[in-house]
Amino acid sequence: MLLPRLLAAATLALVSMTACAQVSIERFQAGTHYFPVEPAQPTASGDKVEVIEVFSFACIHCAHFEPEVAKWKKKMPANVAFSYLPAVFNAQWETFARAYYAGEVLGIAEKAHQDVFDGVHVRRDVRNLEDVAKIYAKHGKTEQQFFDATKSFAVEMKLNRAKQMVPRYQIDGTPTVIVAGKYRITGTSAGGQDKVFDVVDFLVAKEAAAKKGAAPAAAAAKG
């Protein structure tokens, strides 16, 4: 009778171990649904989890993705700091990056964002800075204010940083979302543009848990 009992116990243990292993498998996997940024890049979001969309007004895929971004921003977790990072892959993209940062300096980038996308890809009447200036004028800034901003030191600094950071994030296409300077997600990796923020939310929670766990360890080390 002892042998059957031992076999039953061993079988139960094996089933339990298998169940635990299955539970421990994460919903989204590195190398499939997202990719590690190596080395991880520093963030500027303090205690919040940084989420960045690398985009361009010139990118039709970014235009198609923007409604997903807008929808998610309305319900994003309170512990997230979101921002846009324009990619500069060629002269036209640099023009649009400069336009975006001019809007940011003027404080109207958020209001004009969708309007610029529509001008480029829907109305098809936006191709240069002069065209963007007309859009920004509709949102409360004169064309001269816009042109002055495009030539400002602040915009040049932001552009130079964008040119440095996009390669560091190993970006090879847009739109791409970066979480915590550590993880890179695309529509392809997520299984569709409508699924990108499912992966983002997963990684935000993962990073928030890591931050929470690191805080007591840091406090203990100081003590």
Burial class (CB in 10 A: 0-12, 13-18, 19+), 152: middle
Count of Cβ atoms closer than 10 Å to residue 199 Cβ: 23
Q: Are 133 and 103 in contact (CB under 8 A)?
A: no
Phi-psi region of 54 (alpha: psi -120 to 50; beta: other; left: phi over 0): beta
pLDDT of residue 215: 53
pLDDT tens, residue by residue, 171-221: 999 999 999 999 999 999 999 999 999 999 999 999 999 878 765 544 444
Closest by CA to 191, choosing from 33, 62, 37, 70, is 33
pLDDT of residue 129: 97
With a cut of 70, which residues of the chain have pLDDT below it?
A: 1-24, 214-223
pLDDT of residue 115: 97
Measured on CA atoms in the order 92, 94, 95, 99, is the torsion positive or negative?
Answer: positive
Angle between helices 109-121 and 91-106 (to 10 degrees): 150
CA 18 to CA 24: how far, in whole Å?
10
What does the chain come to in residues?
A: 223
CA 138 to CA 119: how far, in whole Å?
13
Q: Are 189 and 34 in contact (CB under 8 A)?
A: yes
Segments of the chain assigned E as strands:
35-36, 49-55, 80-86, 176-179, 183-186
CA 17 to CA 20: how far, in whole Å?
5
pLDDT of residue 222: 55
Domains of the chain, each with CATH number or no CATH: 29-200 (3.40.30.10)
pLDDT of residue 24: 52
CA 32 to CA 191: how far, in whole Å?
9
